[in-house]
Amino acid sequence: MEKSLMTGSSGGASSWEPRIVAFFCNWCTYTAADLAGVSRMRYAPNVRVIRVMCSGRVDPQFVLDAFAQGADGVLIGGCHPGDCHYVEGNYKALRRVEFLYRLLEDLGIEKDRLSLVWISASEGDRVRVAVNELTERVRELGPLNLRHRYEELDREVEIHDRHSRTPVRPSEEVATHV
């Protein structure tokens, strides 16, 4: 299992690799990821880290956008409860993630694709574990392929429209005012 984590994204058709976007807070988790590097820990190359000052900056839209743009998993890393550099930003992240879990399920996205972890600046090894765990979990869930899913929906709507001749969706003009 550990071996499969380390394989690259190049290769044949069966070589699908999970794509993980991570939002790490500047003070704790990003620094821990730096420490993991300095300590030469090895983890799955599937993660792409985006630095924010605080996990509280992570807008739920960032997470949804990442899934929409093709991410198979999203990892959010913040300081431990009580340790936030900005007092309580991580608690806000926690609430947003709880909200996102519900939203994701409604959208048909497995909530296991989103993970929130508390990693302090000294816990380089927890970065390794968190990235590997989420990568592995997402690998088991398979590709999310949200773009493709919507393409299918769009096609269905199109077919329906063609047959019923009455548009189901509001016109573009109306939509822009919503």
Partner 1 sequence: MPSQNGSVRIGVYVCHCGFNIASVIDVEAVAQFALTLPGVVVARDYKYMCSEPGQTLIEDDIKEHNLNRIVVAACSPLLHEETFRTAAERAGINRFHVQMVNLREHGAWVHDDRAAATAKAKDLVHGAVLRVHYHKPLQPKRVPINKAVLVVGGGIAGIHAAITVANSGKPVYLVEREPTIGGNMAKYDKTFPTLDCAACILTPKMNAVRSHPNITMWTYSEVVQVDGYVGNYKVKVRRKPRYVREDLCVGCLHCVDACVFKDPKFPDTFNIGMNKRKPIYLPFAQATPKVVVIDPEACIQLKTGKCKQACAAACERGGINFDMQEEIQEIEVGAIIVATGFQPFDATRAPEYGYGVYPNVYTSMEIERLVNASGPTGGEVVLRDGTRPKSIGVVYCVGSRDERYNRWCSRVCCMTALKLSHLLKEHTGAEIYNFYIDMRAAGKGYEEFYQRILNERVHFIRGKVAEVCDWALDPSEEGKLVIRVEDTLTGYVRRIPVDMVVLAVGLEPRADAQEVRRIMNMSCSSEGFFLEKHPKLAPAPTYTDGVFIAGCCQGPKDIPDTVMQAGYAAAEAMALADTGFFEIEPNTAHIVEEECSGCKSCVDLCAYKAISFNEVKHKAEINPVLCKGCGVCVASCPSGSIRQDLFEDEEIFSEIEGVLATV
Positions in the binding site for partner 1 (CB under 8 A): 6-10, 17, 19, 21, 26-28, 30-31, 33-34, 36-38, 40-43, 45-54, 56-62, 65-66, 69-71, 82-83, 85-89, 92, 96, 120-123, 128
Cβ closest to partner 1, residue 47 vs residue 134: 47
Q: How far is the CB of 160 from partner 1 (least distance, A)?
A: 28
Cβ closest to partner 1, residue 56 vs residue 134: 56
CA distance 106 to 108: 5
Cβ closest to partner 1, residue 88 vs residue 158: 88
User: Are 134 and 23 in contact, with CB atoms under 8 Å apart?
Assistant: no
Cβ closest to partner 1, residue 85 vs residue 137: 85
* Single-letter code of the amino acid located at 93: A
Least Cα distance to 116 among 149, 93, 82 occurs for 93
Q: How far is the CB of 102 from partner 1 (least distance, A)?
A: 17
Half-sphere exposure of 120 (CA within 13 A, CB side): 6
Residue 147 buriedness (CB in 10 A; 0-12 / 13-18 / 19+): exposed
